[in-house]
Structure formats: structure tokens, C-alpha cells
Amino acid sequence: MASNSGKGAALVHGLRAAADLGFDYAVTMDGDGQHDPDDLPGFLDIAESNGADLVVGNRMTNTAAMPWVRRIVNRWMSGRISRLAGVELPDTQCGYRLIRLSVWRELTFSSTGFEIESEMLFAFVQANRRIRFIPVQTVYKSEQSKIHPVRDTIRWLRWWQQAKR
């Protein structure tokens, strides 16, 4: 039985496999059922029409259904990363993304956990790659997030401190 190496490790593994198979893009979605596949054509349209290298879902345009703790934490984290990066990044924690694999392959990632979303966005900004955000619907059902608030916050803060250097 394989062990759980973390979300970041799983994403790197999957993106590497997609790139090795010759795909131009890969789409990531969180596994908690939060993202609506009907939004996907918009991601492709932005990538093709604007040459975006990374298209990120933006849940912050309509937060009425979002649990208040998630809304506050997402805004706080997005604000910190936006200031660090020097550009406005409205939803840094959304896992619904379209990634240009040729660009992704040029970058280096070390995160193995949930902080991968922040690290990926920051890496694309640092490499002066084109990032676009697209409003997405969010579906909040009874599924529980796999985030461990204390452990994952500590990991994110460690990543953030390292990125600030």
C-alpha cells in the first residue's frame, strides 16, 4: 500500500506524468467536490486567447456560500502572497487551475503539502509568466477539507518565511 506523501507531492507526480505524455496543459481540481467541471471551458479560453501560462480559479468574487473561516484565511493568505509577489493575486489557495506544462517544467517546487498552491503561484510570478484568474462557482457540500489547520498553517508559514528571503 502506498503512503500519502501530501498534496504537493501528488500534484508534482501527476503534472510530471502529464508532461511526459506530451500534454500541453493539465487541469487540477481539489478532491473535495468543491469545483464545478462546467467552469473548465473558461480556463481553456483564457489560456488560448491570452497566452496564460497559469489560470487560477477565483472563488472570492462570490463568497456567500464559503464558510467564514475559509473566507477569512483565504483573504489573509492571498493578501500576504500578493504583497510578497508585488502583484494582485485574488485567490491564492484555489486548487482549480490550468497549468501550461512546458512552463511548469522550467520551475522548481519543494512543497509536499497544501502550500504547493502558494509556491506554484509565487514561482510563476517570479518567472514573469502570465497568470490569469477566472471567477468560478464553488460547491460546498458535506465533504470535509483534508487540511489540518494547525499543521498546515505551520507548514505554510514556514514556506512563506522562506519565500520572503
Average pLDDT for consecutive 10-residue bins of the chain (165 residues)?
78 95 95 86 95 95 80 88 94 94 94 88 96 89 63 76 80
- What are the domain boundaries of the chain? 7-164
Identify the three-state secondary structure at position 127: coil
Sequential DSSP letters for 20-37: HTT-SEEEE--TTS-B-G
Instruction: Give this prediction's pTM.
Output: 0.88
For residue 143, the model assigns a pLDDT of: 57
**Maximum distance among all alpha carbons in the chain?**
43
Cell numbers at 67, concatenated: 464558510
Query: pLDDT, tens digit, for every residue of 24-67?
Result: 999 999 877 788 899 999 999 999 999 999 999 999 888 887 77
CA distances from 160 to 71, 80, 87, 119, 157 (A): 19, 9, 16, 9, 5
For residue 138, the model assigns a pLDDT of: 81
For residue 54, the model assigns a pLDDT of: 98
**CATH 3.90.550.10, applies to 7-164:** yes
Comparing CA positions, the residue from 132, 130, 118 lying closest to residue 83 is 118
